[in-house]
Amino acid sequence: MRYPAAVLAILAAMFLVLPHVYGNQSVLFTMMTFMALAQGLNLLYGFTGYLPFGYVGFFGTGAYATSLLVTFTGMPVLVCVLGGGLAAVVVGLILGPLLRLSGAYFSIANLAASQIIYYVVANEALKHVTGGPYGVKIEQVYAPTASYATMLAVLLLATGLAAYFRRSRFGLGLRAMHQDPISAGLAGVDIVRERLIVWLASAGIAGLAGGAYAWNLSVFYPDAVFTLQISVFAIVFALFGGVGTVIGPLLGAALLYAFYAVIGVSAPQYFELLYGLLIVLLVLFLPNGLMSLLIRRNVDVL
Amino acid sequence: MSSEPLLRLEGVSKRFGGLTVLDRQSFSVSAGEIVGLVGPNGSGKTTTINVISGVHQADAGRILFEGREIQRLKLFRIARLGINRSFQVPKCFRAMRVRENIEVAATFAGRGAVDIDEILAGIGLADQADAIAGALTVNQQKMLDLGRALATNPRLLLIDEIGAGLNPAELGGIAELLKSLAARGIALIVVEHLLDFLNRITDRVIVLGAGRMLFEGSLKAASQDPDVVAAFIGG
Ligand SMILES: Nc1ncnc2c1ncn2[C@@H]1O[C@H](COP(=O)(O)OP(=O)(O)OP(=O)(O)O)[C@@H](O)[C@H]1O
Ligand SMILES: [Mg+2]
């Protein structure tokens, strides 16, 4: 699994074949959503060290921008989804100055920003535009198969970007910056620009995923696309697999989401307990995720 | 010998909070010249290097490189103009291999092709090329920082206490390396507590005391200057 093309091909084949052998397409769709989000978060956290607690803000922005474009413009839905990605990138640009903060300050400011977006969107006063607390209805464009394919495309895009960050000249600069920003600057790396590009790419992926998700649900409340749990899942899934790699976040999200889908739904009381336990074990024994088991043995993983 | 200096500082000051760490420094350095920068602990030697290399911004004054003001430029711009440095406390890319550390600078500085093997040999790390940088000794890591700087094809090099903790043979090797760089036309500012070492590579030193330039001239004359003597004894 060293080659980007192989990873992309396996991913695509898997999610094209699975619906034919496993009937519950909604589980598969949500799994892809979280794989895309874990990968999108990994772009930022894994390659620059900025941990965006408010990552869900971009997802919600994409979901709402897509829905509003569908409602008010009548453009093809796919174009509206792209518009959702673009809206998240614009929000990322506006929040760009947050990158000057470091560590926990960045994470918390980003969290606050996502909450602000949520409160604006869900505000009663905006009910004629966003639907306010009553949510969004775009059931006229409901199309489970097309939205499923779109989410798969977003997942492949996120994974392609991660592979690019891991193996390109641009990625070499990122690695240097992540280890020592001052020395990276002295080596000639434009760290402000590289950081901003990664931030916008990460935001864009969440926005596109939000758009495809909104399309797939087609009727939802603001909570559904702004709940903090989405950020938490993306972070935990990515960490579990191993950030800074391409395969890690995919594996982490697939395994943990499958676990959630099996136990979380049938026996939620045990699920919380087991999940908590799993996270504690992870932090204690495998802080760099599943992939570190291979990397430690000098296996060249993507 | 009337060439325009490569680097010129005009009244450069730097404060941290209420503390004035650099107080109106003015001096120049020409291509191919080696200037020693000495002074007691905390006198502002490292800070001088930090403001020239863009790690910190000066609060007042101008820094001119080839006649162009650089005191507001970002680090990578300054590096791409041809100014680079090593660190008193090494700052290499610790999780990367030694060779990769050099490659980053060779790739991004955009100042022409460099021979990575030659740089590795020059800094004495040819045999460690595939080692993880974080596993090197502190002195080797300082040399790696120098290698990272050399990979940008610099015209001005700022070296911060690269000799501390080395044996005489190693010091001799570094002295020769620095002299050969100067012979290639690179200007060097060398911060060093080891005066014998400085004596071998230059006869021009600048002495700092509490952020002020106390003296500029030969090392020998410096040792007889009352201000300099007072600064080193009085602290
Ligand atoms: N980032 C900083 N923030 C606050 N104070 C600083 C900072 N950097 C340096 N200083 C202070 O500035 C003064 C000069 O420090 P500097 O490191 O330039 O001295 P130095 O001459 O290099 O000393 P040494 O010989 O110990 O390396 C010291 O008092 C130091 O505490
Ligand atoms: Mg110092």
The predicted pLDDT at position A262 comes to: 85
The pLDDT-based confidence of A249 (bands split at 50, 70, 90) is very high
**Structure token pair of residue A171:** 């990625």
Query: Ligand 2 (ion): which residues have CB within 5 A?
Result: B 45-46, 88
Q: Is the pLDDT of residue A264 over 90?
A: no
The predicted pLDDT at position A266 comes to: 80
Residue A159 resides in a domain: yes
Interface confidence (ipTM) of the complex: 0.94
Pick the closest to residue A49 from A152, A156, A184, A188 (CA basis).
A184
- Does ligand 1 have an atom closer than 6 angstroms to the CB of B50? no
Residue A71 resides in a domain: yes
Q: Is the CATH code 3.40.50.300 the one for domain B1-79+157-166+187-235?
A: yes
The pLDDT-based confidence of B222 (bands split at 50, 70, 90) is confident
Helices (H), chain B: 45-53, 75-81, 98-108, 116-122, 138-150, 168-183, 195-201, 219-222, 226-234
The predicted pLDDT at position B26 comes to: 96
The predicted pLDDT at position B235 comes to: 47
- Does ligand 1 have an atom closer than 6 angstroms to the CB of B20? no
- Does ligand 1 have an atom closer than 6 angstroms to the CB of B25? no
Which residues of chain B make contact with A183, given a CB cutoff of 8 A?
91-93, 145, 148
**Dihedral angle, C-alpha B198, B201, B204, B208, nearest 10 °:** -30
The pLDDT-based confidence of B3 (bands split at 50, 70, 90) is low
A189 touches B at CB < 8 Å: yes
Sign, CA dihedral B81-B82-B87-B92, equals positive
The predicted pLDDT at position A1 comes to: 60
> Cβ separation of B103 and A184 shorter than 8 Å?
no
Residue A283 resides in a domain: no
Q: Is the pLDDT of residue B28 over 80?
A: yes
The pLDDT-based confidence of B1 (bands split at 50, 70, 90) is very low
The backbone torsions φ and ψ at residue A286, rounded to the nearest 5 degrees and listed phi first, read -140, 60
- Does ligand 1 have an atom closer than 6 angstroms to the CB of B47? yes
Distance (Å, rounded) from C-alpha A29 to C-alpha A25? Answer: 6
Residue range A233-238: mean pLDDT, rounded: 94
In tens, the pLDDT along B84-138 reads: 999 999 999 999 999 999 999 999 998 888 999 999 999 999 999 999 999 999 9
Mean pLDDT of chain A: 94
Which residues of chain A make contact with B103, given a CB cutoff of 8 A?
172
Q: Is the pLDDT of residue B220 over 90?
A: no
The pLDDT-based confidence of B230 (bands split at 50, 70, 90) is confident
In tens, the pLDDT along A21-58 reads: 988 899 999 999 999 999 999 999 999 999 999 999 99
Overall domain count for chain A: 1
Domain layout of chain B by residue ranges: 1-79+157-166+187-235, 83-154
Residue range B50-77: mean pLDDT, rounded: 96
Nearest CA, atom 6, ligand 1? B16
Look up the domain containing A101 and give its range.
Answer: 4-227
Share of chain A above pLDDT 70, in %: 100
In tens, the pLDDT along A160-180 reads: 999 999 999 999 999 999 999
Pick the closest to residue A53 from A228, A213, A195 (CA basis).
A228
The pLDDT-based confidence of B234 (bands split at 50, 70, 90) is low
Q: What is the pTM of this model?
A: 0.91
Distance (Å, rounded) from C-alpha B84 to C-alpha B233? Answer: 32
Determine the distance separating the centroid of ligand 1 and the alpha carbon of B43, expressed in angstroms: 7
Among A172, A179, A182, the residue with its CB nearest the CB of B75 is A182
Helix (H, G, I), strand (E, B) or coil at B151: coil
> Cβ separation of B92 and A180 shorter than 8 Å?
yes
